[in-house]
Amino acid sequence: MTTLPLTPASDRDVDDVGVGVPALLFLPGWCGDRDVFDGLVARCSQHRRVLATDLPEHGTRPRTGDDFGTGDVVDDVAALLEQRGVERVVPVALSHAGWVAIELRRRLGPHRVPGVVLLDWMVLGPPPGFLDALAGLQDPHAWRDVRAGLSAMWTTGVDVPALHEYVDRMCNYGAPYWHRAGREIEAAFADGSPLAAISDLDEPCQTLHLYAQPADDSVLAAQQAYAEAQRWFHVHRLAARSHFPMFEVPDDMAAVIEDFACSLS
């Protein structure tokens, strides 16, 4: 891991549009860029301030070759919020960027982070076989096959060219990026599920899980049961087919996110 501060995000590495509080901060997952949120940024910024940033070493950020972890990403995002003068923010995190959102709430507290939105994530914990896939991503002989399997899972049966193009760009990231993704995600899940991590905060955080996959009704039922018991948790399944529903139903997603943000005001 790097012991030096990461290169701060510049203006070209951040979209910052709209007016209104709390602001939304869109965070892409490992090996993905912030342009996955272009449609949501355009829609959500009609109602409030919206920021979207690339992770260090991703997208338009400089490539230094330094290693870093989830904690470094949280430092980077917190510095961005200070630099931009964002007082109250709702992180909107895609997949495993949810760990960054949870830690940001832990560090900044409920006043500055009144809620989080988790997009298409395994909030109840990893499904069977997933931890094996994470180990494979860290294996110098297996990671390409695991990456190919993920790509096929994310695109098969989904006729949305923009989604296919985005996944292709994810696959342009090489071994260090996918090894890092496997390592950081594995370490995070070793401490428990995302919902367990949120419930362990000093004050549970208003949390919305907005997702499309898996389509298994039992997964939705389990989340709905959790929401009945823990009133800070909310779940909404989208009428979409992919792991990246923002390419399929951006209007629906923007509307649900806006309703949630309004509830926090």
- Can you tell me the distance from the alpha carbon of 87 to that of 108, in angstroms, rounded to the nearest whole number? 10
Is residue 110's pLDDT more than 90? yes
First-to-last alpha carbon distance for the chain, in angstroms, is 39
Delimit the domains of the chain by residue range.
11-123+193-264
User: Cα dist. 148→21, 126, 174, 186 in Å?
Assistant: 40, 19, 12, 19
Output the pLDDT for position 4. Answer: 44
* Domain 11-123+193-264, CATH among 3.40.50.150, 3.40.50.1820, 1.20.1110.10, 3.30.2010.10: 3.40.50.1820
* pLDDT above 90 for 11: no
Residue 80 phi/psi, 5-degree rounding, is -60, -45
Helix ranges restricted to H, 2-53: 38-44
Q: Which two tokens stand for residue 169?
A: 């760009």
Place of tokens 């709430």: 105
Which pair of tokens denotes residue 59? 């997208």
Q: How many CB atoms lie within 10 A of CB 166?
A: 21
In this structure, of 9-13, 147-151, 161-165, 182-186, the range with the lowest mean pLDDT score is 9-13
107 phi, psi to nearest 5 deg: -75, -45
**What pTM was computed for the model?**
0.95
Give the integer Cα–Cα distance in Å for 90 and 84.
15
Distance CA 113, CA 102 (A): 10
Over residues 166-220, the pLDDT tens digits come to 999 999 999 999 999 999 999 999 999 999 999 999 988 999 999 999 999 999 9
Tell me what percent of the residues of the chain surpass a pLDDT of 90: 90
Q: How much is the average pLDDT of 92-111?
A: 97
pLDDT surpassing 70 at residue 83: yes
Q: What are 153-166's pLDDT values in tens digits?
A: 999 999 999 999 99
Residues forming beta bridges with residue 236, ordered by sequence position: 210
Q: What pLDDT, on a 0 to 100 scale, did the predictor assign at position 3? A: 45
Q: Answer yes or no: is pLDDT of 76 > 50.
A: yes
Torsion of CA 79, 29, 181, 53, to 10 degrees: -30
- Give the model's confidence band at 228: pLDDT under 50 very low, under 70 low, under 90 confident, else very high: very high
Average pLDDT of every residue of the chain: 95
What digits encode the pLDDT tens for the residues 235-263? 999 999 999 999 999 999 999 999 999 99
- Average pLDDT of the residues in 123-129: 95
pLDDT of 6: 62
